[in-house]
């Protein structure tokens, strides 16, 4: 199956063995839920003794791991505040693979970045893959449609959106629905990182477009190109590569 082997995450999970781990789920969308699903699988595969942890419930644990896939720094304030409360617990905190939008010089036990472009914000971090790339999934039916062009509508959007595009996070509530949506298409063009990851896990022809900062390009250059993903600067460029012509798209 496409994706990365469990062994690609040894440096992340091996040090957690033999300890009671509190898993902190960041706030996010259905793409973040895909990462959580993969994280649960990996914790179990590595034989980690873990429990969900929130500042409100605070079960007794030896240390905390803060879920991967978000953005470090204060750009997304709710998760910054959640990490603050984790540190206030007095427990050691490990940050699972994230992107950085700014520096966050706080006393974490370990920090993992998921693409090289984030290293300048945290030079002491360790590079590790996005956890969703290690997800093990069921077999899905063959695609029924040729092309899925799905673009985000939030502040991370950078490319010009044709009027007919939908944001896949608005169409799905669960990670299984996210995979089911991606499975409909033979080719996927998107600026949603984890919708692109769904396409790769399913073995679909997948093109990722840039978002408003380095995340998508960085993930492509660090991991996704080796998994068969394509990169394009615009939807029109991606569709030309696939042999498509559309009167609704600009020339570039």
Q: What is the DSSP string of the chain?
A: --S--GGGGHHHHGGGTTSEEEEEPPP--HHHHHHHHHHHHHHHHTT-EEEE--TTT----SEEEEPSSSEESSSSHHHHHHHHHHHHTTS-EEEEEEEESS------SEEEESSGGGGGG-TT-EE---GGGG------PPPSEEEEEE---STTB-SPPPTT-B-GGGT-SSHHHHHHHHHTEEEEEES-HHHHHHHHHTT-EEEE--BSSSHHHHHHHHTGGGGT-EE-SSHHHHHHHTT---TTS---
User: Does a structural domain hold residue 211?
Assistant: yes
Same domain, 130 and 154: no
Which of 99, 134, 169 is where one domain is finished?
134
Same domain, 117 and 92: yes
Q: What CATH number does residue 68 fall under?
A: 3.40.50
pLDDT tens sequence for the chain (252 residues): 578 999 999 999 999 999 999 999 999 999 999 999 999 999 999 999 999 999 999 999 999 999 998 889 888 899 999 999 999 999 999 999 999 999 999 999 999 999 999 999 999 999 999 999 999 999 999 999 999 999 999 988 898 887 778 999 999 999 999 999 999 999 999 999 999 999 999 999 999 999 999 999 999 999 999 999 999 999 989 988 877 665 555 555
User: Does a structural domain hold residue 251?
Assistant: no
Same domain, 82 and 156: no
User: Does a structural domain hold residue 248?
Assistant: no
Determine the structural domain holding residue 96 and report its residue range. Answer: 6-134
User: Does a structural domain hold residue 247?
Assistant: no
Same domain, 42 and 149: no
Same domain, 130 and 10: yes
Considering its fold, how many domains does the chain have in total?
2
pLDDT tens digits, 86-126: 999 999 999 999 999 999 999 999 999 999 999 999 999 99
């Amino acid at each position: 199956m496409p994706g990365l082997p469990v062994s690609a995450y040894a440096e992340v999970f091996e040090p957690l063995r033999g300890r009671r781990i509190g898993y902190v789920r960041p706030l996010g969308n259905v793409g973040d839920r895909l990462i959580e699903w993969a994280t649960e699988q990996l914790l179990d595969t590595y034989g980690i003794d873990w429990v969900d942890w929130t500042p409100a419930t605070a079960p007794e644990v030896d240390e905390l791991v803060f879920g991967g896939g978000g953005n470090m720094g204060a750009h997304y304030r709710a998760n910054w505040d959640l990490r603050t409360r984790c540190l206030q617990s007095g427990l050691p905190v490990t940050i699972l693979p994230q992107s950085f939008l700014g520096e966050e010089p706080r006393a974490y036990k370990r920090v993992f970045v998921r693409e090289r472009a984030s290293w300048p914000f945290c030079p002491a971090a360790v590079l590790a893959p996005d956890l969703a790339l290690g997800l093990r999934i069921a077999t899905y039916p063959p695609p029924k449609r040729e092309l899925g062009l799905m673009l985000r509508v939030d502040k991370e959007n950078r490319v010009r959106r044709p009027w007919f595009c939908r944001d896949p996070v608005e169409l799905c509530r669960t990670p299984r629905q996210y995979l089911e949506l991606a499975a409909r298409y033979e080719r996927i063009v998107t600026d949603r990182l984890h919708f692109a990851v769904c396409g790769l896990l399913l073995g679909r022809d997948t093109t990722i477009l840039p978002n408003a900062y380095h995340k998508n390009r960085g993930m492509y250059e660090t991991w996704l190109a080796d998994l068969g993903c394509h990169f394009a600067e615009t939807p029109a460029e991606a569709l030309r590569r696939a042999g498509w012509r559309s009167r609704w798209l600009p020339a570039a």
